[in-house]
Chain A
């Protein structure tokens, strides 16, 4: 198999077509790479996923609108479908695997890529789409009787339902592999949630699948106190976001008559508030408080690149602390860990996939 590096700048050509939303060019580019002997999994990780990270970075910098980000994702989905089509011819040599997105996970692409990568390695795959509810997962678990389940979580808000997936899957004795940016850079959150294995990317997923046990015991229950607070936060999430949006002067200060501009301020505020509240839930559920520092870094970076006043971050911390008055564990976690570590401030160029 030829390595991708031998192609003349495939990423550059791909990126150019992605910016112009040129689906046809993307499809033929990916088709050429594959017929030229490129490894399908590398096409996914080194081209499609790499370009998606770049899209995320541009959104973070305010260079892309949400609609543009979605359009780029649509192009990436058609690129992935070309790879999926290509790997259908690989004979099935391994067991059955169910690939799913947890509920509230609307990024369908990573799961599609994982499905595609596993199919390329001889797994018989079944893909459930974006935001799958636990009942539907259960139905497929019993009907299909898969040898494993693989779940992708991009957003922090999907980790609580991912825990429900882990409970349902392990209750049937089936091993469950998890991955995606919401789990962070190591297996700490995955282990805390009771997953059987964690993978960094598609290559990691392929390797991890071979090491899964045939049968696993049901996941251990999580700490009652933390879980109770997390589920209270989850059910109050909408109310908290509405309340904080009202109190945070980021939106109130934006008095622009331009609807698009106002919308983008509201988008940023909502993204920040969702993200921060979900980070608190994840810290409660997994005990991994690093998620708070990571989120603080992300928020701080987003506010800076969007030219928000420097006081907005401090104000956010204040209103959050006030809002968490009835949640003692959450308030303690926020107070102790929701801050940008000073040594992270040096390196502002690193991309962050949140």
Chain B
């Protein structure tokens, strides 16, 4: 540790009565507060902001935190009077500065700042950003204290503190600063680890999120997706719409199992459906191909899928061929409020080597809606038992002719209110209404 012994006592502070016990308490309290207060966030920048807010003015009049940047070889500076300010600098650019020594050794450096022409240059050795150094200089600093942030055996950054004229850091303040840095470093390092993992996860996750729906001429589409683990945004249910012009394939499915593993399989399933569709647009052929592909993977998982090929005829109606693999059949809501279940069934994919699926054909006239859903809807288990398809069939007629967006919202709300706060399985809804 390189504590400058000349800075341990300060003229000016001696004439006033000193409440030593009070200062001790304030220091201890701060160390305690930093320990508990920083545990609330796992975001690196927010944790640094929180730290800077807590240490002012008890420990310092101005502060800055040096942290690892987003990319290797970069550092992020957070601090100064503008809480929103942060800057990224390269590690190479500060290699010759004193700050770099603290970052290597994790030690403490205390320096007395002489307010002369060189003050700003002096500060720049620890504050490697012109705006922050200039801001620090206007504080008329007496002392500049830099403490390494060391956690889990590695120095991840540094805490740079300034005290103004008449209030330098004495030996006890330095100890408090070091202990605050130790507490903060663990929280900052946890946030750093979390962010690193988070970046990997979010890239992978984005390919598994529900897709945005295409514009389909002559029809309106709407979908809802609510995974069992709502905070993950992904789950074992999926929906997809692809195609073009007047020939579309709608699919909804449910992978056995839950959570991240199930979500990974939905990605492969969606891709296989798209590839199979590329070679043949018939839903029964698509499902047959999907079954063979997933069976050959020898996973213990199976998938229930509903595929609907939708073609627009000259009168603006949609002719829909539906094939099902172990999945609840779609429900038709006619414009006049009649509801009917499409009579279609088949074996779930991935269980038997070869399956022949048989499609059913229905026609959607203007104002008719076809609703595809997963068993998270009908098997939702609330205080009064299972939600059930009958409840859904009773709800639907009230929304005859309504926008599919309205319909999906109403179903989602009805099911969640029925659950009354109880846990639910993955829920996916896909609705298509004939007519612009």
Contacts and interface: CB of A to CB of B under 8 A. Distances in A.
A binds B: yes
Nearest to A23: B403
Interface stretch (A50-58, A65-73, A190-198, A201-209): A65-73
A139 B402 contact: no
A142 B43 contact: yes
B43 A147 contact: no
B43 A145 contact: yes
Given A67-B399, A147-B84, A215-B49, A142 B42 contact: yes
B4 to A, nearest CB: 31
Contacts of B410: 70
Given A173-B50, A214-B53, A263-B398, A74 B405 contact: yes
Given A138-B231, A215-B53, A173 B409 contact: no
A171 B36 CA distance: 10
Interface stretch (A127-135, A245-253, A299-307, A312-320): A127-135
A171 B40 CA distance: 5
B398 A66 contact: yes
A238 B420 contact: yes
Contacts of B402: 67, 70-71, 74
A12 interface: no
Interface of A: 21, 23-24, 65-67, 70-71, 73-75, 77, 95, 106, 108, 130-133, 135-136, 138-139, 141-145, 147, 171-174, 213-215, 218, 237-238, 263
Contacts of A130: 409, 412-413
15 contacts: A21-B403, A108-B409, A133-B230, A135-B230, A135-B231, A139-B231, A141-B43, A143-B43, A145-B44, A145-B46, A147-B84, A214-B83, A215-B46, A237-B420, A238-B420
Given A23-B403, A71-B402, A238-B420, A173 B53 contact: yes
Overall SS of chain A's interface: helix
B406 A71 contact: yes
A273 to B, nearest CB: 13
A173 B198 contact: no
Interface in B201-241: 202, 230-233
Contacts, number: 94
B41 A74 contact: no
Contacts of B12: none
Contact of B41 (A24, A65, A108, A142): A142
Contacts of A143: 43, 198, 202
B231 A218 contact: no
Contacts of B47: 173
Contact of B49 (A136, A173, A218): A173
Contacts of B274: none
Contacts of A75: 403
Contact of A174 (B37, B46, B398, B406): B46
A122 to B, nearest CB: 12
Contacts of B41: 141-142, 145, 171-174
B416 interface: yes
B230 A215 contact: no
B45 interface: yes
Interface in B14-47: 37, 40-47
Nearest to A235: B421
Interface string B116-144: 00000000000000000000000000000
A337 B406 CA distance: 37
B436 interface: yes
A133 B228 CA distance: 11
Given A70-B406, A70-B409, A215-B50, 14 more contacts: A70-B399, A70-B402, A71-B403, A106-B413, A136-B230, A136-B231, A139-B232, A141-B41, A142-B42, A142-B194, A143-B198, A172-B46, A215-B53, A263-B398
